[in-house]
Amino acid sequence: MPIDNLMLLALIIGLVSAVSLPLGALTTLIWTPQDRAIAWLMAFGAGALLSAVTIDLFAPSLSNGLFLETATGAFLGSAFYLSLNTLLNQQGGFLRKTATTIQYLRGKQTEQRMQFQASLNRLPFFNRLPDDDKELFLQQAVRRRVKQGEMVFHHSDAQNRFFIIQQGTIKLRDPSLELKTFMELNAGDTFGRMAFFTNRNNATLAQAATDAVLWEINKDQLNRLLKSRPALRESLCRYYDEDTELRHYLQTRHQMTEAESRAHLAELRSTLQSQQTLPLHPPPPKDLARSQRCLQKARRFSVLANLPEEIQGLVASRMTEHTLPAGQAIFKNKSPAERLYLLEAGEVELVDPKKKRQDFERLKPGDFFGVMAFVVGGEHATTAITRTDCRFWVIEKDTFIQLLNQIDLLNARVRDFLRTDDLSQYLTQEQQLKQLQAQKWVNHSIKHLLPGQLPTLAEAFPSARHTMPKAAYFAIWLGILLDGIPESMMIGAHLSQGEMISMSLIAGLFLSNYPEALSSSASMRDQGIAFHRVLAAWTLLMLLTGLGAALGQVLLTGTAPAVAALISGIAAGAMLTVIAETMLPEAYSKGGSIIGMVTLLGFIAAMSFKLFD
């Protein structure tokens, strides 16, 4: 047959064998397959592909005396596929298939376990522990996700937990320096442990500089391990006795003398020895009558002003007391407003970067502050600094929302507050909204505000719909292409030697491609990839398979049989690796033991096409 005709034949065969790829993607429009159906189809396709590789490639190589070349190529193809597959998975390509997703996540879990243990080893009281005890800590730890800008903890809060960073960056801010960042921590670093082990309030504020994932260990979890692990108790006692970092922390951050810091740590050590636990750090005792009197005199927030006595008592019971010395920042401008503050004693100055110093607002006892940003879900426009020693009360946003759920009067007052001129002025001057935009936000918020909710600027002006990053989508597409390259190589190598492609080989490739595309398309759509992008990926792969087969036929024509056998072996090795790594594991995990029989059916079905050769 002329070369042009062989090239055209290779193109057609490549397209026919791969047309089941877009067919599989199109099927997801009318049918969402259950796991068992995907498993059966995947196993059937794997059996068909096994038949094509073994009967139509390895068997001829044995009869032609080219076993060594084919076997060498198979090893090279497998190694090459695994290397590229690992690289693409790290960029997000693992999302193309359920099996590669599971495999990637299992690898990540192992990596995270090693990272967690390495982080514990950096702590002086954990590095002597056996790995089994460190594994217990990992089991006890709670994974917590925080968004960029979110506060992990505030200064002056009771601290009964510490954190290890799994990924992301955390900024530590110093309240004595107007909450400026003095340290940035990254994966593997710990924070919050000084206040945790000294049983003192936080001396710094921790904020997520990026989206981050943290391991959180609280005192209840640690105490359970202390009771059952004498080695851990002994190590911690030595830490209290010998290490100087805790004394330094107490002296610099909590203004203790050398003698006071030693006595404080000795008391903690004594408790640990006698009770086999660390004491929980309780919040300061609440004086309900005092908090209620402070609320009665409160100004600057009409929602909580002049409340009926019963409601006033309920709100007062949810307030927590805090103290800070002079010169400390309570919150910083451009930080999320997650708390509402009520000053009881002392003086606070609101530092506005847009005003001159003489125009800064000074707050007196009875003033609420941080109000506007708290209500609209925005960021603080000022920095609040204590000019004298201060005592104030805090209402967390979650607590306030709980109160809104319980008290209808507060919901009505929030709506009234949204209509005030002060709030409109705040939106235009501090949040930089145009007058029309501010009014639109107010109208939208009042109209759509449900009981037990606070409005947010983000809800009124939503950001663009989340889409998968281009880099991750491209990695997924490259992964799909990687899975398809061996097919075109096999077809091109066969035709370059003047051999006709058997019906069983074409059938095996066609039957294996359909369930692979069906399963992967469903998985990709679950990851949020639009259908048209899924279909485009598989259609483009079909075209490239045809073009690759034609190109392979042209390039390999006239080569020695040993070279063609090596190329075919590379393709076969990569395809067998795909079967073993992705198709059969996914099928078995979803379908169970029957998968072996279904795989055999696929093998026999593809082999039966030999009857038509």
DSSP secondary structure, 430-472, as one string: TS---HHHHHHHHHHHHHHPPTT----HHHHSPPPPP---HHH
What average pLDDT does this structure show over 242-253? 88
Would the pLDDT of 295 be above 90?
yes
Model confidence pLDDT, tens digit, residues 101-157: 666 656 666 666 666 667 766 776 676 667 777 777 777 788 899 998 889 999 888
Model confidence pLDDT, tens digit, residues 276-292: 888 887 665 668 889 99
Q: Tell me the three state secondary structure of residue 143.
A: strand
pTM for the predicted model, two decimal places: 0.58
> Which of these, 103, 96, 101, 89, lies nearest to 24 by C-alpha position?
96
Would the pLDDT of 269 be above 80?
yes
Q: How far apart are CA 121 and CA 235, in angstroms?
A: 13
pLDDT band at 167, cuts 50/70/90? confident
| Predicted pLDDT of residue 36 | 86
Q: Tell me the three state secondary structure of residue 261.
A: helix
Length of the chain: 613
Q: How far apart are CA 103 and CA 93, in angstroms?
A: 12
More confident site: 260 or 485: 260
Q: Out of 109-123, 178-192, 408-422, pick the least confident.
A: 109-123
Would the pLDDT of 95 be above 50?
yes
What average pLDDT does this structure show over 260-267? 92
Give the number of other Cβ atoms within 10 Å of residue 290's Cβ.
14
| Predicted pLDDT of residue 579 | 86
Would the pLDDT of 180 be above 50?
yes
Would the pLDDT of 557 be above 60?
yes
More confident site: 518 or 392: 392
What class, spelled out in words, does domain 303-419 have in CATH? mainly beta
| Predicted pLDDT of residue 96 | 57
Angle at 105 between CA 535 and CA 134, to 5 degrees: 170
Would the pLDDT of 1 be above 70?
no
Q: What is the CA radius of gyration of the chain?
A: 33
Delimit the CATH 2.60.120.10 region(s) of the chain: 303-419
Model confidence pLDDT, tens digit, residues 560-599: 888 888 888 888 888 888 888 878 887 887 888 899 999 9
| Predicted pLDDT of residue 107 | 63
Mean pLDDT score of the chain? 84
pLDDT band at 465, cuts 50/70/90? very low
> Which of these, 391, 284, 374, 283, lies nearest to 328 by C-alpha position?
391
Residues 6+ apart with CB under 8 A from 591: 35, 36, 39, 40, 42, 43, 598
Residues 6+ apart with CB under 8 A from 217: 137, 140, 141, 142, 161, 162, 163, 164
Letter for the amino acid at 180? Answer: K
What average pLDDT does this structure show over 162-184? 91
Q: Which CATH number fits domain 160-275: 2.40.50, 2.60.120, 3.30.70, 1.10.3210?
A: 2.60.120
Q: Which of 15-19, 83-87, 229-233 has the highest mean pLDDT?
A: 15-19
pLDDT band at 344, cuts 50/70/90? very high
pLDDT band at 226, cuts 50/70/90? confident
| Predicted pLDDT of residue 99 | 60
Per the DSSP assignment, residues forming a β-bridge with 161 are 218
Q: How far apart are CA 208 and CA 601, in angstroms?
A: 54
223 neighbors 161 (Cβ within 8 angstroms)? no
Lay out the sheet containing 320-324: strands in order across: 320-324, 390-396, 339-345, 368-369
| Predicted pLDDT of residue 482 | 72
| Predicted pLDDT of residue 467 | 47
More confident site: 257 or 522: 257
More confident site: 34 or 106: 34
